[in-house]
Amino acid sequence: MIINRPSPFGAAHQTPKRIIVHAMSEWINGMYAPDFLLSVGLSAHALVTPDGDIIKCREDTQGAFHAKGFNTNSLGIEFLLPGHNDYGSFLDGIARPGWVSEPQLLAGARWIAEWMARWNITQIDGHCDVDPARKKDPGRGFPWDTLRAAL
Ligand SMILES: [Zn+2]
């Protein structure tokens, strides 16, 4: 299922050249992930829930505030770590293999594959790859091999 939750945060226009994969907690400070992003003025193009739903927040041709230095030339997708987490339990959670559910991985892979085809993109990185000093997501437990095999 695709759930539209438009966010006002991000540049009005962009041409996406790369995809950046993120992770964030499904719930933070009592707020559902898309509401948390709104509360702090951040955004991503899509969030993938543990059930395999896609929450669409920005159009591809709009920027999003998801990765410092890449907010006007990339598409950002957030895989949601189930449940309520503080930053410590979030970091522990995304380091644990198996945290991404099968429907979540399939839905995310389908979304990423559509982006790759639509925008002729081959560059896919984790947030930690483009901002290693500040970011750990999507985490050591993220199933990159399974994702790449599904693309
Ligand atoms: Zn991130």
The series of mean pLDDT values per 10 residues for the chain, 151 residues long, is: 98 98 98 98 98 98 97 98 97 98 98 98 98 97 97 94
Residue 38 pLDDT: 98
Ligand 1 centroid to residue 137 C-alpha, Å: 5
- C-beta of residue 78 within 8 angstroms of C-beta of residue 22: yes
CA of 92 to the centre of ligand 1 (A): 15
Residue 16: phi, psi to the nearest 5? -70, 135
pLDDT of residue 123: 98
Q: Residue 134 C-alpha to ligand 1 middle, in angstroms?
A: 10
Q: Nearest-CA neighbor of 48 among 68, 33, 31, 28?
A: 33
CA distances to 62, 91, 146 from 135, rounded to whole Å, are: 23, 10, 22
Whole-number Å distance, alpha carbon 20 to ligand 1 midpoint, is 8
Q: Could you tell me the distance, in angstroms and rounded to a whole number, from the CA of residue 1 to the centre of ligand 1?
A: 23
Q: Residue 145 phi/psi, 5° resolution?
A: -60, -45
Q: Give me the pLDDT at residue 51, please.
A: 98
82 upstream amide cis, omega within 30 of 0: no
